[in-house]
Amino acid sequence: METAYQADGTLVWCARDMGNLLERIKAKQINVVVVGAGYVGLPLAVEVAKSGLTTTAFDKSQGKVDAINRGESYIGDVPSSHLAPLVKEGRLKGSSDADVLKDADAIIICVPTPLNKTKDPDNSFILDAADMIASRMKPQQLIVLESTTFPGFTRELLLPKLSANGLEAGKDFYLGFSPERVDPGNAKFQTKNTPKVIGADSAEGLEMAVALYSHFIDTLVPVSNTDTAEMVKLLENTFRAVNIGLVNEVAIMCQHLGLNSWEVIEAAATKPFGFMPFFPGPGLGGHCIPIDPLYLSWKLKTLKYQARFIELADNINSGMPAMVVTRIADALNDRSKAVRGSKILVAGVTYKRDIDDVRESPAIDIIELLRRRGAIVSYLDPHVPSLTAQSTHGILSQDVPKAEVEDAGKFDCVLITTDHRAVDYVKLVQNAQLVVDTRNATKASRKEHGNKIVSL
């Protein structure tokens, strides 16, 4: 391939005899670059490589790149035993050199999309990736965004950036959006067997995206355009956030009524129709549910519409860590103890069970709230070797010492925030003086030790 650009970066000509892109995709005669090798990108890159496509996992973190090239996984859902053979056989490599994009026929963007401090969308990672790609684009490329964003982003912001060098979307390159559906720690549904929604900017782009993803995803769900695909993702997680907000408020109601919220929900779940059980907890965590609905709310504000369900659910869910701390204070007070000076063990600091991810974990906020009230806090979590200010991106003011189940009796209160299967909760309750349980992990111990268990 030979290309030439003007001084301002405008593409003026390209000589390339590589055949039709769609036919090459179908024949697996393409190079694929996955931009971002995190919780979404690395599992995806592994599946792409397993399908027989030449694959590069691009990431700015040299540590991640080096680990990939050693065949060592840093993602729980990707065993090193799956990664290493792909690297050894030359089907997958890691790179921190953006020039790998020049030889890519298909580029899949899997970068973070957090919220900023005012809870507005932060799309800077996508836009940075777009600039990096745009400066290296060539005709006949397929680009698919997987990072969650608001409806219209791919069409309104990403497409113009990629067209800046004079290439025409739908003719010279093809653009799609396929929202990631990663559920860390899910043993049943992983990247390959989770149905995949795909939208594109043109009929030709959709055909190419479907052809690409059909190599490594079992079930594809094409939709009419990128806006629809973006909205699908936000609906999925808004549904969960709103229903979790509902049951969190039910838990608060049950406290006022003197009822056990877990018993109420479990009994309601016996109805064989018209009810889907959700369960309360200490707050929302992870990279999707606490964030994605607010992308939709923000977008609607630009159209002068208030997404009332989303904002109410966010208000309730965001308030759960403070409510848990109040619950601890009340439980200690009933035993003639103050939060200040009390030793508290936080059991489980990841945002969900059986993973090592502390992103947006409510346990982190609870630890800081307890410290502000003068508590002396330690943590217990078999999946997190250490909990530091650095590992929580500065949310923690200082490192947290680690303890074990056998140490539970040394604490004035044990707070269960994540119900890891590897933790012996029967033993934990036996050893503890007081347990505040936000996950119904102590159900088996309530009959014998109910006098020292306080439920959410």
Residues labelled as active-site residues: 288
The C-alpha atoms of residue 327 and residue 319 are separated, in whole angstroms, by: 13
Residue whose entry in the numeric block shows the structure tokens 């992990």 = 441
Instruction: Give the chain's length.
Output: 456
How far is 166 from 106, CA to CA, in rounded Å?
19
Contact 169, 139 (CB under 8 A): no
Residue type at 281 in one-letter notation: G
Identify the helix (H) or strand (E) that includes residue 108.
strand 106-109
344: part of which helix (H) or strand (E)? Answer: strand 343-347
Rounded Cα distance, 146 and 390, in Å = 27
Residue whose pair of structure tokens reads 């791919």 in the numeric block: 154
3-state DSSP assignment of residue 117: coil
Strands 141-145 and 173-177 come out as parallel
Q: What is the CA radius of gyration of the chain?
A: 24
Alpha carbon distance 206, 170 (integer Å) = 10
Q: For residues 347 and 438, is the Cβ–Cβ distance under 8 A?
A: no
Sheet holding 106-109, edge to edge: 92-95, 54-58, 31-35, 106-109, 141-145, 173-177, 196-200, 220-222
